[in-house]
């Protein structure tokens, strides 16, 4: 990765998600009333409309739910080809992160593969990418 990735704009709701990697933690918003995870981060629970939500660290592992291989150079920061995957996050039912699978050739990625978060830091942002658990 030569140029910087496009950066998310940090706010009070998403800061814990994008900066949790500084402590090696994948953090998701969770409702303190009904226990639902809320992603993308929002200040109000989607299930029960409670405002009693706070970030919580999850295990940082998951399973590839689906994926595609991108060959188009849409952005100078992203060397092609690369895998865009939807990862079902362990311990957070209903949460799927759209992310990249890194650390292996693109043709070794498959649905059902177990993966673990691998943070890529750029400035104060820690992108939660994933690599296969081998």
CB 79 within 8 A of CB 63: no
Distance CA 110, CA 74 (A): 23
Q: Which of 28, 29, 31, 87 binds Zn ion (CB under 5 A)?
A: 31
Number of H helices and number of E strands within the chain?
1, 8
Q: How many residues lie near Zn ion (CB under 5 A)?
A: 8
Measured from the CB of residue 128, what is the shortest distance to Zn ion in angstroms? 23
Q: Which of 29, 45, 117, 129 binds Zn ion (CB under 5 A)?
A: 45
CB 11 within 8 A of CB 19: no
Name the residue with tokens 């693109």. Answer: 106
Residues 49-88 that bind Zn ion (CB under 5 A): 50
* Closer residue to Zn ion, CB minimum distance, 21 or 27: 27
Q: Is 92 in the site for Zn ion (CB under 5 A)?
A: no
**Residues contributing to the site for Zn ion (CB under 5 A):** 31, 33-34, 36, 45, 47-48, 50
């Amino acid at each position: 990765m030569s140029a910087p990735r496009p950066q998310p704009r940090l706010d009070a709701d998403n800061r814990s998600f994008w900066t949790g990697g500084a402590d090696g933690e994948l953090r998701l918003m969770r409702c303190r009333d009904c226990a639902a995870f809320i992603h993308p981060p929002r200040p109000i629970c989607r299930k029960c409309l409670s405002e009693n939500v706070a970030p919580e660290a999850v295990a940082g592992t998951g399973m590839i739910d689906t994926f595609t291989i991108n060959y188009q150079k849409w952005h100078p920061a992203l060397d092609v080809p690369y895998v865009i995957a939807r990862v079902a996050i362990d311990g957070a039912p209903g949460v799927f992160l759209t992310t990249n699978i890194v650390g292996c050739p693109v043709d070794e990625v498959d649905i059902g593969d177990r993966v673990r978060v691998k943070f890529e830091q750029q400035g104060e942002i820690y992108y939660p990418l994933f690599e296969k658990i081998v």
